[in-house]
Structure 1
């Protein structure tokens, strides 16, 4: 039995500083993408003061992210961070394709309630927009892990909600 598992991060856990808060065993293994999913923002996050990221099944779309290897002792902390116990996200298994041609089976989290209709990110209504800090954390992680330039450009098209208050984050991510 392996003592580790692979996790595909596409949101704030793209950022190494963020994932290591609750999951100190995380080691970056590779970048990759999942096919037939799109990145979307839906459920309001009290922590982030805006809509949080999810993946939604969508043909001919891809979501890029990071493959982290974690010790199984962090499985419960990762589930807790993602709100599995509160039915915010549920864990599922996906095949992640890497630029080097490998296919890795990874744990990923998807919101329990996802948007039914597709809205282009630039047309997101205010309630579907992430906060500036959350979006910047995702962008920081995408850049630090050298996700494809076109995907980073796509992330930059996502409007934020303009929130300027305090966050429930106990450290500086940026």
Structure 2
């Protein structure tokens, strides 16, 4: 593939109204509905619902530099869990990683990011051990945003996360002001007790000025 060329994207993608710039659209977001500002067209931008390490902007930007914050949102009838696949362990995070499971009555809070279409491929590559799916998330206004998110392929067992990985998730939740009770829940999750510092954690922290 030559420089500047990008493959055709699959999945839910969105574009801004032609008459509005990114900056003007974000400023007017409080006065207009999300459905008006972000209509589902097959070009331009797509919406991504993050609930794990990509809650932290600096983590997401490592591979997806077009990501911009849109809103926080709730995914209903799912729960957050940590695990691994039978033939795969997280070599980067040294422990269980986040995924979501269907669970009626439960919910998961996360962040909706707006990304340029060209970064659908980089996001898919980052989440190569996950399946991309389309979910309907609810924002505080009650409106529904259809987003791309990821679920682990064939998870075989629940495994606690490395402290570094859990710390990134909590930092992202605080950074984006998820509900206090949900942050309390994240802080109550038991880690695997490892004292090793992972390389990817150091890389993310070098980009982050956040202190909890």
Instruction: Tell me the TM-score normalised to structure 2 length.
Output: 0.72
Identify which of 79, 96, 103 aligns with 2:137: 96
Contact 2:66 2:115 in 1 (8 A): yes
> How many Å apart are 1:172 and its aligned residue?
4.0
Report what 2:183 is aligned to.
152
Moved over 3 A (4+): none
Bigger relative contact order, structure 1 or 2 (CA pairs below 8 A, ≥6 apart) = 1
- Please state whether the residue corresponding to 2:103 is helix, strand or coil: strand
- Please state whether the residue corresponding to 2:190 is helix, strand or coil: coil
- Please state whether the residue corresponding to 2:191 is helix, strand or coil: coil
Identify which of 110, 127, 131 aligns with 2:151: 110
* Inter-CA distance 22–42: structure 2 relative to 1 (3 Å threshold): same
Distance 2:144 2:64 in 1: 24
- 1:143 and 2:188 aligned: no
Aligned residues: 160
- Cα shift readout 1:140-160 (whole Å, capped 9, x = no counterpart): 000010000111111111011
> How many Å apart are 1:168 and its aligned residue?
3.5
Name structure 2 gaps, 5 residues minimum: 1-41
- 1:134 and 2:165 aligned: yes
Contact 1:56 1:114 in 2 (8 A): no
Contact 2:59 2:204 in 1 (8 A): no
Name structure 1 gaps, 5 residues minimum: 117-126
